Structure 1
Amino acid sequence: MDAVTFGKAGLKGWRARVADAVAGPVAQRTPVSDDQVRAAIGALFLALSVMYVAKAVKDLATSR
């Protein structure tokens, strides 16, 4: 699995629409491709999701 595939795993629903809207303009202004921009956005959303779940588990564990 390469980084682009990993990053795109985080793009579902509205997150994919955001990445699609942003990828073109960013890719035109930078030396990266559309797919790389989408992968970076997807990786960011995936990391934020993991952090959210980890915080919820931590809060659950400390409330007991």
Structure 2
Amino acid sequence: MDAVSFGKAGLTGWRAKVADTVAGPVARRTSATDDQVRAAIGALFLALSVLYVAKAGKELASNR
């Protein structure tokens, strides 16, 4: 699995719509391709999800 596929795995539902909307303009202003921008956005959403779950787990463990 390459980095682009990994990043795009985090794009579903409204997150995919956000990435599709942002990818074109960002790619035109940078040297990145549309797919690379979508992958970066997907990776960001995936990382935020992991942090959210980790924070919830930490709070659950501290309330015991």
Using structure 2 for the length normalisation, give the TM-score: 0.99
CA distance in 2, matches of 1:53, 1:20: 26
Please tell me whether residue 62 in structure 1 is matched to residue 62 in structure 2: yes
Is there any run of 5+ residues in structure 2 with no aligned partner, and where? none
AA aligned opposite 1:10 = G
Deviation at 1:60, TM superposition (A): 0.3
Using structure 1 for the length normalisation, give the TM-score: 0.99
Question: Cα RMSD (Å) of the superposition?
Answer: 0.3
Deviation at 1:16, TM superposition (A): 0.3
AA aligned opposite 1:43 = A
4+ runs of 1 displaced by more than 2 Å? none
AA aligned opposite 1:21 = T
Q: How many residues align?
A: 64
Please tell me whether residue 33 in structure 1 is matched to residue 33 in structure 2: yes
Is there any run of 5+ residues in structure 1 with no aligned partner, and where? none
CA distance in 2, matches of 1:32, 1:38: 10
Counterpart of 2:21? Answer: 21
Counterpart of 2:2? Answer: 2
Identity score, percent: 80
